[in-house]
């Protein structure tokens, strides 16, 4: 039994299972949080690795899953061996890797049916076009596809392939069939590919896969998560300001930071509304997403949903200016020169910060220079509660998977060094929540009547 008195089966299994090194998980973790972690610690994940170039990312994926407390049994296809070694995956997973359906020794230890029953989740990453075809056809010529048929656990795949392969009608038919069979499909993302081309087909990053499959499950006998009962509205991505029906002015925002914040806020228990410009990032589970294009649409959608919101985070890169007029028909190439008149786009953040008794307002400042001065000026001018500032430029901030930020509030500041956007988002949500609570406490104390103290 655990010292904090939680007596669920999974707790006992986790605390006694020293073979998996799971006891280390509890070092330094307050008692009230342990039960929640224990629940995640009990998850058994079969990680299927098929023969795509993105297999080189799987050792990292195994580590991230184990960091979150899962036991990971790797099952590789024969082709996967060409891209990543069994030795590496065995070392990082701490379990012998399974590759062969006809391995008498492995079958004697845990037969494929027992393995299929052991799993709480079967995750295949990367999933090749070939394995998707086998799974869609219900074929089972190897261990991994046999497990997919024999398990009652949810099956999740993260496809990865060249973008032309991904767009092929046969692959798309298989994707649809698998979705119809209840397989959850993560990504793929649009981006640079190993073949040197760009397009949809990149495997989702390990961090994002982990966030998608391992959102903490809240069990009845643990304290509610910190943001339970709170509503957080987050804007994310770029806006597009139309010049004509086919052209627009936009910026380099990928939306990754805003989406990572939405995922972290959701995991902390909040109701999350995401108002998003056009991006190619997957909406986190349990998050309500409203898709918009222009700054004007983002302004309208934000104000439509702002009532009752506790925390507002403006992570979108909203256009400061928009064309004064948008042509109804495509502008033709007739004049030798042309100029575009721009007018101010609505300032969504300032408008929300002005609301009487409005939400705790957090802004973002992406600057190429004088980060501290510009960010503090914006904090004061817009009367924000907090501002998160980062330098942007080549390989910094926009469209990157990692970020480093400085956070400022009226009487304090904190630096967050370079890390993945999902790890950063978890830290930022924690800090935002602390500052939000502090503001609430201060407001309550001011509202109390003064009591005269006499000797
Ligand atoms: C260098 C190289 C890279 C490959 N990368 C991919 C890939 O990223 N995605 C994919 O679907 N197939 C890729 N293939 C093709 C698969 O390896 C091939 O279809 C194989 O039969 C897949 O088998 P499996 O699904 O059982 O692992 C690649 C092949 C080679 C030679």
Q: How confident is the model at residue 1 (pLDDT cuts 50, 70, 90)?
A: very low
Phi, psi of 80 (to 5 degrees): -60, -30
- Put simply, whether the predicted model's pTM sits higher than 0.85 gets the answer no
Is ligand 1 within 6 A of the CB of residue 132? no
Closest CA to ligand 1's atom 1 = 53
Q: Are 234 and 276 in contact (CB under 8 A)?
A: no
pLDDT at 191: 76
Q: How far is the CA of 48 from the centre of ligand 1 (A)?
A: 14
Number of domains into which the chain is organized: 2
452: CB partners within 8 A, 6+ apart: none
- pLDDT tens readout for residues 297-321: 999 999 999 999 999 999 999 999 9
Last residue of one domain, picked from the residues 185, 213, 241: 213
- Reply yes or no on whether the pLDDT at 362 is more than 80: yes
pLDDT digits (tens, 9 = 90+) for 247-268: 999 998 899 999 999 999 999 9
397 vs 158, higher pLDDT: 158
Q: What is the pLDDT of residue 24?
A: 35
142 and 248 both lie in a single domain: no
Give the confidence band of 30 by pLDDT, cuts at 50, 70, 90: very low
Give the separation between CA 74 and CA 93, rounded to whole angstroms: 7
What CATH number has the domain bearing residue 352?
3.40.50.10300
Q: Pick the more confident residue, 16 or 455.
A: 455
Q: What angle in degrees, to the nearest 10, is found between the helix axes of 256-267 and 206-213?
A: 30
Q: Reply yes or no on whether the pLDDT at 451 is more than 60.
A: no
Q: Where residue 115 falls among pLDDT bands split at 50, 70, 90?
A: very high
Q: Are residues 209 and 236 in the same domain?
A: no
Q: How many Å is the maximal CA-CA distance in the chain?
A: 88
Q: Is the CB of 379 under 6 A from ligand 1?
A: no
Distances (CA, A) of 206 to 123, 212, 231, 401: 12, 10, 28, 11
Domain assignment present for 138? yes
Report the pLDDT value the prediction gives residue 42, as an integer from 0 to 100: 60
55 touches ligand 1 (CB under 6 Å): no
Probe ligand 1: pick from 130, 148, 202, max atoms within 8 Å of CB?
A: 130
Q: Are residues 130 and 88 in the same domain?
A: yes
Q: Is the model's pLDDT at 440 over the cut of 80?
A: yes
Q: Is the CB of 48 under 6 A from ligand 1?
A: no
160 CA to centre of ligand 1 in angstroms: 9
Among 13-27, 70-84, 348-362, 379-393, whose mean pLDDT is lowest? 13-27
Distance 79 CA to ligand 1 centre (A): 7
What number is the average pLDDT over the span 5-18? 30
Same domain, 189 and 273: no
Residue 161 in contact with ligand 1 by CB distance below 6 A: yes
Q: Are 192 and 320 part of one and the same domain?
A: no
Q: Of ligand 1's atoms, which has the minimum distance to the CA of residue 54?
A: 8
Whether residue 383 is contained in a domain is answered as yes
Q: What are phi and psi of 83, to 5 degrees?
A: -110, -25
Query: Is the per-residue pLDDT at 53 higher than 70?
Result: yes
Q: Supply the residue whose CA is at minimum distance from atom 6 of ligand 1.
A: 52
Considering 219-233, 414-428, 441-455, the range whose residues carry the highest mean pLDDT is 414-428
Q: Is 174 in the pocket of ligand 1 (CB under 6 A)?
A: no
Are residues 251 and 394 located together in one domain of the fold?
Answer: yes
Protein residue whose Cα sits closest to atom 17 of ligand 1: 51
Q: Is the CB of 99 under 6 A from ligand 1?
A: no
- Minimum-distance ligand 1 atom for the alpha carbon of 49: 27
Mutate to test the pocket of ligand 1, among 56, 79, 125 (most ligand atoms within 8 A of CB): 79
Domain match, 262 and 193 both? no
| End-of-domain residue from the set 213, 240, 265 | 213
pLDDT for 61 equals 96
The reply to whether 353 and 389 lie within a common domain is yes
Query: Got the DSSP string for 307-320?
Result: TT-SEEEE-SB--S
| Protein residue whose Cα sits closest to atom 5 of ligand 1 | 52
Q: What is the mean pLDDT of the chain?
A: 85
Q: Last residue of some domain: 213, 243, 270?
A: 213
Task: Decide whether any atom of ligand 1 lies within 6 Å of the 213 Cβ.
Answer: no
Ligand 1 within 6 A of CB of 131: yes
Distance between CA atoms of residues 308 and 287, nearest Å: 17
Using the mean position of ligand 1's atoms as its centre, give its distance from the Cα of residue 157 in Å: 15
Helix, strand, coil percent content, the chain, rounded in steps of 5: 40, 20, 40
Q: Residue 37 above 50 pLDDT?
A: no
pLDDT exceeds cutoff 50 at 39: no
Q: Is 195 a catalytic residue?
A: yes
d(CA 380, CA 37): 40
Domain that holds residue 184: 43-213
Res. 11 pLDDT band, cuts 50 70 90: very low
pLDDT reading at 129 higher than 80? yes
Range 215-240 average pLDDT: 77
Same domain (yes/no): 139, 263: no
pLDDT of residue 163: 93
CA angle 314, 317, 322 (to 5 degrees): 120
Looking at the structure, tell me whether residues 311 and 397 fall in a common domain.
yes
- The finding on whether 77 has its CB within 6 A of some atom of ligand 1 is yes
Q: Per-residue pLDDT averaged across 141-146, rounded? A: 96
Q: 4, 31, 195, 289: which one is catalytic?
A: 195
Which atom of ligand 1 is closest in space to residue 80's alpha carbon? Answer: 27
Whether residue 398 is contained in a domain is answered as yes
Residue at 219 is within a domain: no
Q: Reading across the β-sheet that carries 184-185, which strands appear in turn? A: 71-76, 44-49, 121-127, 155-159, 184-185
Residues 344 and 395 in one domain: yes
Residue 183 alpha carbon to ligand 1 centre in Å: 20
Q: Give yes or no: residues 147 and 237 share one domain.
A: no
Ligand 1 centre distance from Cα of residue 51 (Å): 5
Distance from Cα 128 to the centre of ligand 1, integer Å: 6
Q: Rounded distance, CA 218 to CA 216, Å?
A: 6
Is any ligand 1 atom within 6 A of the Cβ of residue 52? yes
Ligand 1 site, residue 79, Cβ cutoff 6 A: yes
How far away, in angstroms, is 202 Cα from ligand 1 center?
A: 13
């Amino acid at each position: 039994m655990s010292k904090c008195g939680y007596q669920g089966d999974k707790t006992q299994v986790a605390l006694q299972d020293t073979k998996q090194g799971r006891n280390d998980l509890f070092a330094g973790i307050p008692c009230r949080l342990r039960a929640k972690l224990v629940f995640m610690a009990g998850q058994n994940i079969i990680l299927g690795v098929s023969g795509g170039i993105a297999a080189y990312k799987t050792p990292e994926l195994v580590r991230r899953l184990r960091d979150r407390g899962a036991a990971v049994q790797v099952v590789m296809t024969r082709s996967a061996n060409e891209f990543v070694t069994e030795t590496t995956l065995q070392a990082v997973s701490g379990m012998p890797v399974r590759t062969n359906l006809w391995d008498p020794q492995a079958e004697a230890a845990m037969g494929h049916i027992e393995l299929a029953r052991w799993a709480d989740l079967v995750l295949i990453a990367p999933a090749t076009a070939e394995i998707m075809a086998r799974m869609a056809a219900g074929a089972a010529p190897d261990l991994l596809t046999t497990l997919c048929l024999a398990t009652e656990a949810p099956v999740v795949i993260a496809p990865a392939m060249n973008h032309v392969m991904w767009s092929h009608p046969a692959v798309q038919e298989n994707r649809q069939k698998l979705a119809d069979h209840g397989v959850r499909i993560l990504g793929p993302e649009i981006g640079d590919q190993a073949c040197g081309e760009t397009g949809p087909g990149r495997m989702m990053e390990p961090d994002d896969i982990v966030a998608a499959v391992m959102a903490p499950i809240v069990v009845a006998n643990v304290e509610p998560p910190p943001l339970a009962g709170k509503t957080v509205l987050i804007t994310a991505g770029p806006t597009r300001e139309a010049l004509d029906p086919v052209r627009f002015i936009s910026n380099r925002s990928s939306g990754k930071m805003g989406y990572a914040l939405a995922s972290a806020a959701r995991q902390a228990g909040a109701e999350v509304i995401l108002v998003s410009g056009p991006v190619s990032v997957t909406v986190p589970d349990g998050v309500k997403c409203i898709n918009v294009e222009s700054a004007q649409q983002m302004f309208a959608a934000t104000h439509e949903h702002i009532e009752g919101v506790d925390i507002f985070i403006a992570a979108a890169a909203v256009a400061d200016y928009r064309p004064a007029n948008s042509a109804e028909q495509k502008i033709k190439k007739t004049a030798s020169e042309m100029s575009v008149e721009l007018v101010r786009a609505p300032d969504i953040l300032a408008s929300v910060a002005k609301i009487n008794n409005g939400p705790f307002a957090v802004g973002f400042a992406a600057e190429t220079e004088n980060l501290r001065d510009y960010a503090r000026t914006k904090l004061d001018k817009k009367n924000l509660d907090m501002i998160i500032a980062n330098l942007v430029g080549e390989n910094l901030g926009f469209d990157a998977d990692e970020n480093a930020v400085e956070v400022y509030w009226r009487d304090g500041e904190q630096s967050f060094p370079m890390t993945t956007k999902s790890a950063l988002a978890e830290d930022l949500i924690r800090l935002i929540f602390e500052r939000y609570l502090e503001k609430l406490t201060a407001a309550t104390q001011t509202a109390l009547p003064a009591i005269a103290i006499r000797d």
